[in-house]
Structure 1
Amino acid sequence: MTDVLYLAHDLSDAAVRRRVLMLKAGGARVTVAGFQRAGNMLADDPEVRIIVLGRTADARMGQRVAAVLSASVTLKRKLADVTRPDVILARNLEMLALAGRASNLFGGETPIVYECLDIHRLLLDNGSKGRMLRTAEGYFGRNASLILTSSPAFIENYFEKRSRLDLPTLLLENKVLNLGGRLRTGQPRPAPPSAGEPWRIGWFGALRCRKSLQILTDFARQMEGKIEIVLRGRPAYSEFEDFDRLVREAPHVHFAGPYRNPEDLAEIYRNVHFTWAIDFFEEGLNSDWLLPNRLYEGSLYGAVPIALCSTETGRFLQRKSIGLTLKTAAPEELAAIFDEMNASEYSEFSQRMAMIDPSSWVSGPEESRALVQRLSGLYGSTQPSARPLQSPLQSGGTP
């Protein structure tokens, strides 16, 4: 059995839990060492040992740097009785900074994989801060064997052009995990609203984009009950002036709290007609390049995705001839579209979605085994070339 030490930046991140579930399904034994923020998504899993390295906070880079420095001092004690892993998976730059130290504690030969599912805006800064962080990334990743990332645009726009790392890349999209065939992926799909009922747009997941919230609340107010906005997930409160008040005071906008992924996906997405797959959090940079979780989740259950045509998400939808792509996502543009939206047009959207092979949205046991096999094969291998790999994990090929 492959032993994986997963260094996690945030134990409350649903994507961390999803990766752990995937590793376990692939046959790995997983130990997670990470920082705590809003809770621990893995607390109810008796098969996974959790080692808390400290506490960190959203949008506080200085505090996180201090926490990493503190954790590096205590890491030997924290990992003292951990079995020597076959591979160390480091999520984000802050955990990559600890990965080399962890590898040395186990003799210095344990391969390191850098999991990077977002490119922080400071890494793209053209000034001294950006150069310093890219230099740090290159330094801490100098002995890594592989980069694991979730969008081809990250590879094309950052790792091939700006990063100081010269490593192979493995593309592992943010697909929905279907382990053991337990996901309810068939019918029914969302039906058009009955006469007098609103179109419902769901914005689910990590809610961190002030501009999206402003657009959606303005749009809902302008449509006077013809549109309902449903929010679910984990708000990044540090990014909003007062998230709870803004939502409470916005007409036809509702926050329905957190959910479990993948257990609750069928219920929440089948209760909306459209998925808001737009993000302005790092507009022109990471937000333009990512392929978000909600794209795969909503599409799997028939909620029509809404994206900007100028982004990687929009191009993804255009290649598949599905979804609703916008030029600006301004409330006026949305109002013009939804003023004309009818059951016939929506049914056409829905039918095109239904024609897409579910493997575009779902990752199963085969992909999990392939991932663990790829990771376990790194031990003892020579330093690989910088040519990006063609991943066997891409069901149906790269989008």
Structure 2
Amino acid sequence: MRRDGPAGHIAFFGHNAKDAAVRRRAVAMQRAGFEVTGFMPRRGPAAEAPFALVDLGETEDNAYARRIGSVFSGARRALAQRDLLARADLFYARNLDMLAMALLLRRRGGFDVPVVYECLDVHHKLTGDGPAARLLRGIEGRLTAASDLLVVSSPRFEEEHFRRHYPGRYRHLLVENRLIAGDAYGPRPEAFPTPEPGKLRLGWFGNLRCRRSLELMKRLARAYPDRLEIVLRGYPALSVIPDLDGEIAPFANIAWHGRYRAPEDLARIYGEVDAVWAGDWYEAGHNSLWLLPNRIYEGGYFGVPALAPDGTQTARWLSDHGCGLLVPEPVEERLVEAVGALLADPAPLHARRAALAALPQEVFVEPPEMMRTMAAMARAARSGHQG
């Protein structure tokens, strides 16, 4: 294997070259000293990337049949850049279809490199007991066993999915969705504004894909029309919320401000709210219970506590760090009560802000050493496989 630079050269197989999380991971690799070349399809028109990029063509969200075909067509395009692939000493694949492509390329090209599988979400098609789910898990199990390292963004993905279905067939590393060291998001705040008495500003940021969460925001807006301001930022999943403007139009105290830039806008948008909503039932019962959303790290860095449904991995994380407010079922009633209690007495919110401020920066920010640890583990696992 050939190494370029102090850390090495990573061929990064991402599901969408324009995805912010994909770009954030590539930047984290670069900050750790790696050269990164992306081999990626994209959603929509081509756009510049902050890393060298081999464009594998256009694909679509949720077009699973086409994405299976794109594994083979993408592999052909990638092999046309054989010299670039040959320079890599690690293949890093994000999502299952990209893992299939990376393993296919390693076999067809004869490349002696470790392959890392990063699982950010466990798709609902992989859960359940039906024949389709069992078939897909059979595929994932074989691909996971053929890879050298599994990276998960939440411990519950490993506990509830991989350990249950593929025990003993993988080695794993937890890499949470933290901010990336060196990004221009500014220093952590040393003091916090005092909310206007009897007022509260609640944010719901990121991928606005949860119908139940939107209904909760509307319920809160009705309950406290003059005392609660709800701020939405990000992009709605059109398959779930096709007309966000129309849905919030009747509520003077709900405002949607569209997309934002991360990390550039984070200090401003979190500085404008007192708390953030961190619930998600997009894939209720499985992925939504297990995930750890970006907003707990982003908000936590800026001293903004999160509210989350009890019983989730998000709630466990907040409880372990003593920095959030947990809402038990029935959430529709208890969240209204919790917000009402904070409007009457914001002391619990202040206490959580103090707890966030006392936590070390590494809780919210991924150090460069994490990507170097990932690479070292993958190389060691590959050596073990060959031995």
TM-score (norm 2): 0.90
Q: Supply the distance in 1 between the matched residues of 2:90 and 2:328 (Cα, whole angstroms).
A: 44
Q: Secondary structure at the match of 1:101?
A: helix
| 1:114 and 1:148 in contact (8 A); partners too | yes
Corresponding residue for 2:189?
Answer: 187
| 1:135 and 1:164 in contact (8 A); partners too | no
1:37 aligns to 2:40 (yes or no): no
Distance 1:38 1:232, change over 3 A: farther
1:245 aligns to 2:250 (yes or no): no
Deviations 1:307-360 (A, max 9, x none): 112111111212222211001363432222222223434322222222222221
Q: What amino acid maps onto 1:271 in structure 2? A: E
Offset of residue 163 of structure 1: 3.6
More helix by share: 2
Deviations 1:204-249 (A, max 9, x none): 1222111111111221122113212212223222222323322344
Correspondent of 1:15 among 10, 13, 21: 21
| 1:220 and 1:252 in contact (8 A); partners too | yes
Offset of residue 105 of structure 1: 4.2
1:97 aligns to 2:100 (yes or no): yes
Q: Supply the distance in 2 between the matched residues of 1:142 and 1:366 (Cα, whole angstroms).
A: 26
Corresponding residue for 2:316?
Answer: 315
Corresponding residue for 1:354?
Answer: 357
Q: Secondary structure at the match of 1:381?
A: helix
Corresponding residue for 2:347?
Answer: 344
Distance 1:185 1:331, change over 3 A: farther
Distance 1:340 1:354, change over 3 A: same
Q: Secondary structure at the match of 1:284?
A: coil
Choose 353-362 or 364-373, whichever is displaced more. 364-373
Q: Secondary structure at the match of 1:237?
A: coil
Choose 128-137 or 220-229, whichever is displaced more. 220-229
Corresponding residue for 1:107?
Answer: 110
Q: Supply the distance in 1 between the matched residues of 2:290 and 2:296 (Cα, whole angstroms).
A: 13
| 2:116 and 2:148 in contact (8 A); partners too | yes
How many residue pairs get matched? 378
Choose 342-351 or 252-261, whichever is displaced more. 342-351
Offset of residue 190 of structure 1: 4.2
Q: Supply the distance in 2 between the matched residues of 1:75 and 1:165 (Cα, whole angstroms).
A: 32
| 2:178 and 2:294 in contact (8 A); partners too | yes
**Residues 117-156 of structure 1 mapped to structure 2, 5 A cutoff:** 117-156=120-159
**Residues 220-231 of structure 1 mapped to structure 2, 5 A cutoff:** 220-231=221-232
Q: Secondary structure at the match of 1:32?
A: strand
**Residues 1-399 of structure 1 mapped to structure 2, 5 A cutoff:** 1=5, 2-37=8-43, 43-45=48-50, 48-77=51-80, 79-84=81-86, 85-163=88-166, 166-179=169-182, 182-195=184-197, 198-328=199-329, 330-341=331-342, 342-375=345-378, 377-378=379-380, 381-383=383-385
Offset of residue 174 of structure 1: 1.1
Offset of residue 150 of structure 1: 1.0
Q: Supply the distance in 2 between the matched residues of 1:194 and 1:72 (Cα, whole angstroms).
A: 57
Q: What amino acid maps onto 1:371 in structure 2? A: M
Distance 1:67 1:205, change over 3 A: same
Query: Which 5+ residue runs of structure 2 have no aligned equivalent?
Result: none
Q: Supply the distance in 1 between the matched residues of 2:45 and 2:289 (Cα, whole angstroms).
A: 29
Q: What amino acid maps onto 1:53 in structure 2? A: L
Q: Supply the distance in 1 between the matched residues of 2:191 and 2:72 (Cα, whole angstroms).
A: 49
Offset of residue 159 of structure 1: 0.8
Offset of residue 56 of structure 1: 2.4
Distance 1:177 1:384, change over 3 A: farther
Q: Secondary structure at the match of 2:384?
A: coil
| 1:25 and 1:369 in contact (8 A); partners too | no
Q: Sequence identity, in percent?
A: 33
Offset of residue 7 of structure 1: 0.6
Q: What amino acid maps onto 2:244 in structure 1? A: F
| 1:192 and 1:273 in contact (8 A); partners too | no
Compute the RMSD of aligned alpha carbons.
2.4
Q: Supply the distance in 2 between the matched residues of 1:81 and 1:249 (Cα, whole angstroms).
A: 58
Query: Which 5+ residue runs of structure 1 have no aligned equivalent?
Result: 386-399
Q: Kindly indicate whether structure 1 or structure 2 has the higher relative contact order, using CA contacts under 8 Å at least 6 residues apart.
A: 1
Q: Supply the distance in 1 between the matched residues of 2:295 and 2:130 (Cα, whole angstroms).
A: 33
